[in-house]
């Protein structure tokens, strides 16, 4: 889906976009852990391009395609549902850790692109490796 966005703005409850053809679409801030926990000022510090919106301070990305997808639980992409269940996992950093682009990972998560079975296994392996590292971490507090 090719979306030409001409305006992006954030209010108290929503991230909003306006397309070249005049459609206005919104995503709830409450649906995104990092945006929900951010200050109103932090939410205003974003950049956008032809793919989506990025908050570098918050390390959050929204793909435009996600604004046009159904939010019904049974229609959510598998990866979207997974990462929404675990908002503590930073999807952008996991992508970097795996050596794939953040925009490709965002496309997988929002359902614009479907990962191959092999790629899905790579993502699962990266998540499990992260979990193993965290379970063996020590704060070394004396």
The CATH 3.30.2020.40 domain(s) of the chain lie at: 1-68
Backbone phi, psi, residue 91, to 5°: -65, -40
The CATH 1.10.260 domain(s) of the chain lie at: 71-137
Give the model's pLDDT for residue 6.
94
Domain 71-137 CATH class label: mainly alpha
Which regions of the chain are under pLDDT 70? 1-2, 70-76
Mean pLDDT, the chain, rounded, equals: 86
40-78 confidence digits (pLDDT tens): 999 999 999 888 899 989 888 888 888 887 655 555 678
Give the model's pLDDT for residue 74.
53
Give the model's pLDDT for residue 11.
94
Class of residue 48 by CB neighbours under 10 A (exposed 0-12, middle 13-18, buried 19+): middle
Please provide the CATH number assigned to the domain covering 1-68. Answer: 3.30.2020.40
């Amino acid at each position: 889906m090719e979306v030409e966005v001409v305006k992006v703005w954030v209010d108290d409850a929503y991230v909003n976009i306006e397309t070249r053809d005049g459609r206005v679409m919104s995503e709830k801030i409450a649906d995104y852990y990092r945006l929900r926990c951010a200050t109103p000022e932090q939410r205003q510090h974003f950049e956008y391009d032809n793919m989506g919106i990025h908050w570098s301070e918050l390390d959050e990305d929204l793909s435009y395609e996600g604004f046009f997808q159904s939010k019904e639980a049974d229609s959510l992409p598998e990866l979207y549902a997974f990462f929404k269940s675990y908002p503590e996992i930073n999807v952008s950093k996991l992508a970097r850790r795996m050596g794939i682009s953040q925009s490709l990972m965002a496309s997988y998560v929002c359902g614009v692109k479907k990962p191959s079975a092999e790629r899905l296994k790579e993502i699962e392996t990266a998540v499990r490796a992260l979990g193993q590292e965290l379970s063996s971490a020590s704060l070394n507090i004396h």
